[in-house]
């Protein structure tokens, strides 16, 4: 029975590691400026975790294979050489070095996203999430967002964002259903929700943020590849949660200018 356990455990370990190493299921290709550093950190964590995984599982397999009791077994038991001490040291060294490495490197990635303010030339876009759609608001030519309030939302009049249209700063604001941005330009999103907790998740951009009603949460990133990426809501928000999505359209500067003019004409 111990030998069977050893064999099965070895197979499980080998298959799991092989699948990961083959990268058959792996992160979608990175398309943002900070994503590379994050992927690098993933890789380091993988190496650390894989060492622990293989050693622990195979150690268990070897012991189960080797130390099964046989009939009339009078072999004395053996205490682990050095007792608990060396295992404690091993754990401290293994986990301790992981912590120092990962926290040290990890802090940089996290800090780049959250501790550093967005670049001054960032494109600012307000996001309003609600059951079960996203809306995006651009400040228009004046570069300013006019005031808005959920009480002013009136879907019958096409005012999805609750924009106070009487205010002059709001007149030129542009509201869209997809998020269009020019490539290689920093983007700062200001995330708002009108009803539930929602999520803003774009795997290729390596960005994710919960959107919480009552708070305006900033999030900044720089897209580096032209393309059409799905934005998913990733915080359970009700019965239509799985249908709540929009698209991030990363365009060349020219295409973006055309797109935003086209969107403005639709207001």
Partner 1 sequence: MANMPTEAHVHHHTAPTGFIRKYIFSLDHKVIGKQYYFLAVFSVFVGMILSWLVRIHLVWPDVHIWGLGAFSPTGAPGGVISPEYYLSLLTIHGTLMVFFVLTTAPQAGFGNYALPIQIGAEDMAFPTLNMLSFWVTFLALCALVSTLFVKDGPPISGWTAYPPLSAVGSAAGPGQGLGQDLWGVSIALFCVGSLLGALNFITTTIDLRCKGMTLMRMPLTCWAWLITAILSLLSFAVLFAACVLLILDRNAGTSFFLPSGLLVNGTLQNHAGGSPLLWQHLFWFFGHPEVYIAIVPGFGVISHVLSVFSRKPILGYKVIVGCLLGIGFLSFTVWGHHMFLSGMSPYSGFLFSIPTLIITIPATIVSLLWLGTVFGGRLRFTTCMMFALGFVSVFVTGGLGGMFLAQPSLDIFLHGTYFVVGHFHMVMGVAAIFGMFAGTYFWFPKMFGRMLNERLGKIHFWITFVGVYCIFMPMHFIGLEGMPRRYSSFVNELMQPLMPVHKFMTIAALITGASQFLFFINLFWSMYKGPKASENPWESTTLEWTVPSPPPFDNFGGKHPVVYHDAYEYGVVQNGKDYVMQTDPPGQPVST
Site residues (CB under 8 A) for partner 1, limited to 124-143? 130-131
Chosen residue from 29, 142, 167, 230 binding partner 1 by CB under 8 A: 230
Nearest Cα neighbor of 63 from 78, 51, 76 is 78
Number of CB atoms found within 10 A of residue 224's CB? 16
Q: Is 151 in the site for partner 1 (CB under 8 A)?
A: yes
Q: Is 88 in the site for partner 1 (CB under 8 A)?
A: yes
Match 């900044």 to its residue by tokens. 220
Nearest Cα neighbor of 178 from 215, 213, 136 is 136
Strand ordering across the sheet containing 179-182: 179-182, 245-251, 227-232, 198-202, 207-211
Q: Is 63 in the site for partner 1 (CB under 8 A)?
A: yes
Nearer to partner 1, 221 or 260 (CB): 221
Binding mask 188-217 for partner 1 (x = CB under 8 A): ------xxxx-x-x-x--xxxxxxxxxx-x
Chosen residue from 10, 122, 150, 224 binding partner 1 by CB under 8 A: 150
Nearer to partner 1, 81 or 254 (CB): 81
CA-to-CA distance for 203 and 37, rounded, in angstroms?
Answer: 14
Nearer to partner 1, 196 or 260 (CB): 196
Q: For the segment 108-127, give every residue that binds partner 1 (CB under 8 A).
A: 109-111, 113-115
Q: Enumerate the β-bridge partners of residue 199.
A: 210
């Amino acid at each position: 029975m111990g030998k069977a356990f050893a064999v099965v455990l070895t197979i499980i370990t080998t298959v799991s590691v092989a699948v990961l190493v083959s990268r058959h299921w792996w992160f979608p290709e990175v398309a943002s400026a900070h994503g590379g550093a994050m992927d690098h950190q993933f890789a380091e964590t993988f190496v650390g975790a894989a060492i622990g995984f293989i050693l622990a599982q195979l150690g268990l397999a070897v012991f189960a294979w080797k130390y099964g009791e046989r009939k009339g077994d009078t072999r004395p038991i053996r205490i682990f050489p050095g007792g608990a001490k060396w295992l404690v040291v091993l754990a401290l060294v293994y986990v301790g070095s992981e912590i120092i490495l990962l926290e040290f490197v990890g802090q940089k990635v996290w800090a780049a996203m959250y501790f550093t303010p967005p670049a001054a030339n960032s494109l600012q876009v307000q996001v309003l999430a609600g059951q079960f759609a996203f809306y995006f608001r651009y400040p228009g030519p004046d570069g300013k967002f006019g005031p808005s309030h959920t009480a002013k939302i009136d879907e019958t009049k096409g005012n999805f964002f609750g924009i106070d249209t009487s205010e002059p700063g709001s007149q030129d604001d542009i509201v869209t259903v997809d998020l269009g941005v020019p490539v290689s330009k920093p983007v700062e999103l200001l995330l708002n929700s009108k009803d539930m907790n929602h999520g803003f998740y774009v795997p290729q951009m390596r960005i994710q943020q919960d959107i919480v009603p009552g708070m305006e949460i900033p999030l900044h990133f720089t897209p580096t590849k032209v393309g059409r990426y799905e934005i998913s809501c990733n915080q359970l928000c009700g019965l239509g949660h799985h249908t709540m999505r929009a698209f991030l359209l990363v365009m060349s500067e020219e295409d973006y200018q055309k797109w935003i003019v086209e969107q403005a004409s639709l207001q």
